[in-house]
Amino acid sequence: MTAPITPDVLTIPRKAPEGLKPNLIGLTRPALRAALIAAGTPEKQAKMREGQVWQWLYHWGCRDFGAMTNLAKDFRALLATNFDIRLPQIVTRQVSADGTRKYLLRIDGGHEVETVYIPEEGRGTLCISSQVGCTLTCSFCHTGTQKLVRNLTAAEIVGQVMVARDDLGEWPVPGEPKREERLISNVVLMGMGEPLYNFDNVRDAMQIVMDGEGIALSRRRITLSTSGVVPMMDKCGAELNVNLAVSLHAVTNELRDQIVPLNRKYPIEELLAACRRYPGASNARRITFEYVMLRGVNDTPAEAHELVRLLRGLPAKVNLIPFNPWPGSPYRTSTPEAVRAFAAIVEAAGYSSPIRRPRGRDILAACGQLRTESERRRRDPQTEA
From 88, 124, 144, 360, residue interacting with ligand SF4 (rule: CB under 6 A): 144
Q: Which stretch binds ligand SAH (CB under 6 A): 52-60, 168-176, 211-219, 225-233?
A: 225-233
Q: Which stretch binds ligand SF4 (CB under 6 A): 94-102, 136-144, 320-328, 351-359?
A: 136-144
Is 324 a binding residue for ligand SAH by CB under 6 A? The answer is yes
List the interface residues with ligand SAH, window 57-76 (CB under 6 A): none
Gap between the Cα atoms of 153 and 86, Å rounded: 12
Nearer to ligand SF4 by Cβ, of 143 and 334: the residue is: 143
What residue 292 binds from ligand SF4, ligand SAH, none (CB within 5 to 8 A, per partner kind)?
ligand SAH
Is 186 a binding residue for ligand SAH by CB under 6 A? The answer is no
Is 202 a binding residue for ligand SAH by CB under 6 A? The answer is no
Q: What is the dihedral of CA 298, 299, 302, 305, to 10 degrees?
A: 100
Nearer to ligand SF4 by Cβ, of 27 and 370: the residue is: 370
Nearer to ligand SAH by Cβ, of 36 and 321: the residue is: 321
Is 114 a binding residue for ligand SAH by CB under 6 A? The answer is no
Binding-site size for ligand SAH (CB under 6 A) equals 16
Is 138 a binding residue for ligand SF4 by CB under 6 A? The answer is yes
Q: How far is the CB of 129 from ligand SF4 (least distance, A)?
A: 9
Do the beta carbons of residue 225 and residue 246 sit within 8 Å? yes
Gap between the Cα atoms of 308 and 33, Å rounded: 49
Please list, in sequence order, all residues whose beta carbon lies within 8 angstroms of the beta carbon of residue 62, skipping any fewer than 6 positions away: 56, 68, 85
What residue 27 binds from ligand SAH, ligand SF4, none (CB within 5 to 8 A, per partner kind)?
none
Q: Select the residue whose beta carbon is closest to ligand SAH and give its number.
A: 368
Q: Is 367 a catalytic residue?
A: yes
Of the candidates 114, 156, 170, 303, the residue annotated as catalytic is 114
Task: State the maximum Cα–Cα separation within the chain, in Å, rounded to a whole number.
Answer: 70
List the interface residues with ligand SF4, window 227-266 (CB under 6 A): 227, 247
What residue 299 binds from ligand SAH, ligand SF4, none (CB within 5 to 8 A, per partner kind)?
none
Please list, in sequence order, all residues whose beta carbon lies within 8 angstroms of the beta carbon of residue 82, skipping any fewer than 6 positions away: 21, 22, 39, 40
Gap between the Cα atoms of 251 and 103, Å rounded: 34
For the chain, what is the radius of gyration of the CA atoms? Answer: 22
Q: How far is the CB of 61 from ligand SF4 (least distance, A)?
A: 29
Q: How far is the CB of 13 from ligand SF4 (least distance, A)?
A: 20
List the interface residues with ligand SF4, window 178-217 (CB under 6 A): 193-194
CB burial of 193-222 (b: ≥16 within 10 Å; e: otherwise) equals bbbbbbbebbbbbbbbbbbeebbebebebb
Do the beta carbons of residue 242 and residue 222 sit within 8 Å? yes
Is 342 a binding residue for ligand SAH by CB under 6 A? The answer is no
Of the candidates 138, 141, 275, 367, the residue annotated as catalytic is 367
Q: Which residues bind ligand SF4 (CB under 6 A)?
A: 134, 136-138, 141, 143-144, 193-194, 227, 247
Q: Which residues bind ligand SAH (CB under 6 A)?
A: 138, 140-141, 190, 194, 225-227, 247, 290, 292, 321, 323-324, 367-368
List, by residue number, the catalytic residues.
Answer: 114, 367
